[in-house]
Structure 1
Amino acid sequence: MNKFICNTCGVQTESAGTVPEHCWICTEERQYVNPKGQSWTTLEEMVASNTYSNEILSEEEGLSSITTVPSFGIGQTAYLVQGENFNILWDCISYLDTATIETVKELGGIDAIALSHPHYYSTQVEWAETFDAVIYIHEDDKQWVTRPSDRIIFWSGETLEVAEGFTLHRIGGHFKGAAILEWKDGSAGKGVLLTGDIVRVVADRQWVSFMYSYPNFIPLPAPTVERMAVQLNEIRFDRVYDAFHRIVMNEAREAVQNSAKRYVDALNGVLFKT
């Protein structure tokens, strides 16, 4: 029995005796099946290959990024946030080895894992079991869990305080249960949002964007982005970290609002004429 990992999205399945025919995540319109065909690996195969390692960097006091090198799957970055006697892993990556475990334990371990949306579920149960952590997923995305576990807590409503200083906000958009993490003490007490790609920092780091599907270029409707902007405006933050190690360093709350307006104006045909 193996727990297979999709090579395209990096999400792990529950134990199976044979290779699955399709990836439940990739066959949905927000993701894609590799043009070369569906392929799978396992965490054991990844470790044995000696191909991968995880780069763990200190981003600011209390925050470390974790990224697999070379890139695997979607290539997202996870973040370990250290609070007062409580550490939370924001989003997850597929690769986990002894070196990563040792470094994370040196940083205080993991008490909880919180996920922005299904594309980053990866090997979340492996991480949770390794560090004796619980997993927080919004109940609206329950159907996308490909490896069930008693460690998963399906939360409901619009906000959840996971621990002092850490609040999850369901803002939807990319997925119905799409969430972001508010870290109140981040950026020297001015507040940080960790957004996955629910709010994605673009090439010009003073702007962000919002999408239903990034690889397939499907935009979100204007009313959805307007609603998201209202919710985001109610949160105090000065900095944003997205899933691909892009950061709006300062005045991020204003940047998000400006970006939402620009996005809506573009969809409504008032931003430009071409």
Structure 2
Amino acid sequence: MTNPGQPAALSEPSDPELWDGLILCATCGVEQAAAHPEGLPAVCTICADDRQWIPAGGQRWTTVGELRDAGAGLEVAELEPDLWALRVRAGVGIGQHAKVVVTPAGNLMVDVPTYIDAAAVQHVRGLGPLAGIIASHPHMYGVQSAWSEALAGPEGPVPVYVSEPDVGWLARRPVAVHVWSGSLSPLAGLPGVSASQPGGHFPGSVVVHWPGRDGAGVLLAGDTVGVARDRRWATFMRSFPNYLPLSGAVAERIAAHLDRYRYERLYDNFSGVLGVPGGGASRVVRRSASRHADWAEGRMDHLT
């Protein structure tokens, strides 16, 4: 294990990788169903959407093997007791940090790395058996099928939970996919870990609530709630890279949805965290939604 906050760079294995031929988008890093380049679409549908982008040089595809040869790997860092971040080094994707929640009922991967190799699998397995995989939204699907199969247990591949409103974005359908709506307890026998779909960034955007080892409550928010650089505030966006905000009404709807949870800390999709030290993340989200609505609905126009 690493010290809190200190990433551990994993060494690359010398043997050929099982996943070398897996094709993924070179921008978002989402796995593709096609086994050969001629079976790929003209553009990645996720990147062609207004929340993402097609690079100026055009669509490009890559493989896990190409990324490995270019030096890609996985870094693992402890965010707090029983919560780990998985960060892809020298790979593809939009800089997201997947998470692993460690629990007595098995572990839950929340959002998925855009890379996989034997060393990475060994390290994640070392955190304990993986009982479920859940992406907060389609940008975070990563190579979820490969992770599900690589960490399979006696009952088969790890269940991959996909929001029903967003299932159409799957470019490769995992063998063990479970489509769900509303709310979900992804770890059998541990009702304290729960997921729900406040929507916003995507119609099926997911948050995961976990009590935390200290019982104070932790919310893994993906891109549903973004942490501002001034960490006294949060934001609510349809597109972060394209600067497209959600409406005030949707921001307030999301905050009201999250009121069902008790949470003192919130982690977004990247390195943003609210409530450390001192707690109070839920209060930050509520007042941020009100501020967002005031600006989006014109009540602050006198300052412009």
**Bin for the TM-score computed over the shorter chain:** over 0.9
Q: In the alignment, which residue of structure 2 is the partner of 1:176?
A: 203
Q: Provide the C-alpha distance between the structure 2 equivalents of 1:160 and 1:118, rounded to a whole number of angstroms.
A: 18
* Pairs aligned (count): 271
1:227 aligns with 2:249: no
Shift of 1:41: 0.5
What secondary structure sits across from 1:83 in the alignment? coil
Q: Deviations over 1:183-220 (max 9, x none)?
A: 12x16101000011111111011211111111111111
CA RMSD of aligned residues (A): 1.5
- Using the TM superposition, name which of 140-149 and 219-228 deviates more: 219-228
Secondary structure at the counterpart of residue 26 of structure 1: helix
2:288 and 2:128 map into 1 onto residues whose CA distance is: 36
Determine the C-alpha separation between the residues in 2 that align with 1:60 and 1:228. Answer: 25
Match of 1:54 among 57, 61, 74: 74
Q: Name the SS of the counterpart of 2:204 in structure 1.
A: coil
Deviation at 1:15, TM superposition (A): 2.5
For the 8 Å contact 2:207–2:220, the answer to whether it is kept is yes
1:129 to 145, 149, 159: 149
Structure 1 residue 115 corresponds to structure 2 residue 135: yes
Percent identical residues: 35
> Are 1:145 and 2:170 an aligned pair?
yes
1:179 Cα deviation from its structure 2 partner: 0.6
Farther-moved stretch of structure 1 (123-132 vs 69-78): 69-78
Are 1:14 and 2:39 counterparts? no
Give the CA deviation at 1:154.
0.4
Residue pairs, 1:76-115, within 5 angstroms = 76-115=96-135
Counterpart of 1:87 in structure 2: which amino acid?
N
**C-alpha separation between the residues in 1 aligned to 2:285 and 2:37?**
45
Residues 55 and 68 in structure 1, CA contact (< 8 A), matched pair in contact too: yes
CA distance in 1, matches of 2:129, 2:74: 16
The 1-side partners of 2:131 and 2:82 are apart by: 15
Q: Report the Cα offset of residue 97 of structure 1.
A: 1.4
Task: Report the TM-score, using the length of structure 1 for normalisation.
Answer: 0.95
Tell me how far apart the structure 1 counterparts of residues 115 and 244 of structure 2 sit (CA, whole Å): 29
Structure 2 residue aligned with 1:39? 60
Q: Is the 8 A contact 2:160 2:174 kept in 1?
A: no
Q: How far does the alpha carbon of each residue in 1:24-63 deviate from its partner, in whole angstroms, 9 at most, with x for none? A: 11111111101111111011221233x1121101111111
What does residue 179 of structure 2 align with?
154
Structure 2: stretches of 5+ with no match in the other structure: 1-19, 153-157
Q: Identify the residue that residue 8 of structure 2 maps to in structure 1.
A: none
Shift of 1:2: 4.9
Partner of 1:245: 271
Give deviations 1:132-181, integer Å, cap 9, x for gaps: 21111110101000001231100112x11112121001000000000100
Q: 2:296 maps to which residue?
A: 267
Amino acid at match of 1:197: D
* CA contact 2:160–2:177 (8 Å) conserved in 1: yes
Letter in 1 for 2:173: P
Read off the aligned partner of 1:182 and give its amino acid letter. H
Give the Cα separation in 2 of the matches to 1:202 and 1:109: 34
Report the AA paired with residue 27 of structure 2: T
Secondary structure class of the residue paired with 2:203: coil
Structure 2 contact 208–221 (Cα < 8 Å) conserved: yes
Distance in structure 2 (CA, Å) of the matches to 1:218 and 1:144: 20
2:99 aligns to what SS in structure 1? strand
Shift >6 Å, 4+ stretches: none
Secondary structure of the residue that 2:230 maps to in structure 1? coil
